[in-house]
Amino acid sequence: MFDTLTSRFETVFSRLRGRGRLSAEDVDAALREIRVALLEADVNLDVVTGLTERIRQRAVGEELSGALNPAQQVVKIVLSELTASLGGERLTVTYASKPPTVVLLAGLQGSGKTTNAAKLAQWFLRQGRSPLLVGADLQRPAAVEQLRTLGERAGVPV
C-alpha cells in the first residue's frame, strides 16, 4: 500500500518540479492527484478532504509566493501536513514491568501486519531486546510461513 502511495506522490512531485512557477491551477491539479492516491489507499474521505484543504491553503497562500523553488516548497508542505495528520509526534514503547512485553498487530487484510511485525522485531533487536515472533493468523495459513521467512531474514526466532 505505501509503495503505491509513494510512487503516486513521486509522480505528482516530479511533475511539479518540471515547472518554474506554480499557479493555483498547478497546485489544484497536484492536489487532485494526491486526493485520488489517498482515497485509493483507503484513507478516510474526511481526512483526505481536510488534508488537501490545509495543503491548498498553505501552498496557494503567502507561504509559496516567496519561495525560491515553489515545487520543493509544495513537497515540504505536503510532508508537513501528512506528518501532522499522522500524529506529528514520536511514540515510545512502554515495556512491561515483568517480561514479556506483548505487541499485538491488527489491521485489514493485506495492510502489512506480517511484514511490520518482522520490522518491529528487528527494531527491538537493535534496541538490545530479545524479540520473538508468534504467528497467530488462523485465517491465512501462509502467514506463518511468511513470518518464518521474514523472521529468519531479521535474525529473530519464530
148/31 Cα distance (integer angstroms):
41
Domain interval for residue 70: 2-85
pLDDT surpassing 90 at residue 144: no
Decide if 52 contacts 58 (C-beta within 8 A): no
Out of 32, 61, 85, a domain closes at 85
pLDDT surpassing 90 at residue 133: yes
More confident residue, 39 or 90: 39
Grid cell digits, residue 33: 492527484
Q: Are residues 96 and 65 in the same domain?
A: no
CATH number, domain with residue 43: 1.20.120.140
Q: Are residues 29 and 78 in the same domain?
A: yes
Q: How confident is the model at residue 36 (pLDDT cuts 50, 70, 90)?
A: very high
Whether the full predicted model's pTM is greater than 0.85, yes or no, is no
- Average pLDDT value over all residues in the chain: 84
Out of 69, 85, 101, a domain closes at 85
Q: Are residues 76 and 113 in the same domain?
A: no
Q: How many domains does the chain have?
A: 2
Q: Are residues 73 and 141 in the same domain?
A: no
At 106, phi and psi to the nearest 5?
A: -135, 145
Q: Are residues 96 and 79 in the same domain?
A: no
More confident residue, 11 or 64: 11
Q: Are residues 105 and 120 in the same domain?
A: yes
Q: Are residues 57 and 32 in the same domain?
A: yes
Within 2-155, residue ranges assigned H as helices are 2-17, 24-40, 45-60, 62-65, 70-85, 113-126, 142-154
Q: Are residues 18 and 80 in the same domain?
A: yes
Residue range 42-99, pLDDT digits in tens:
888 999 999 999 998 888 765 555 555 777 788 888 888 988 888 877 778 899 999 9
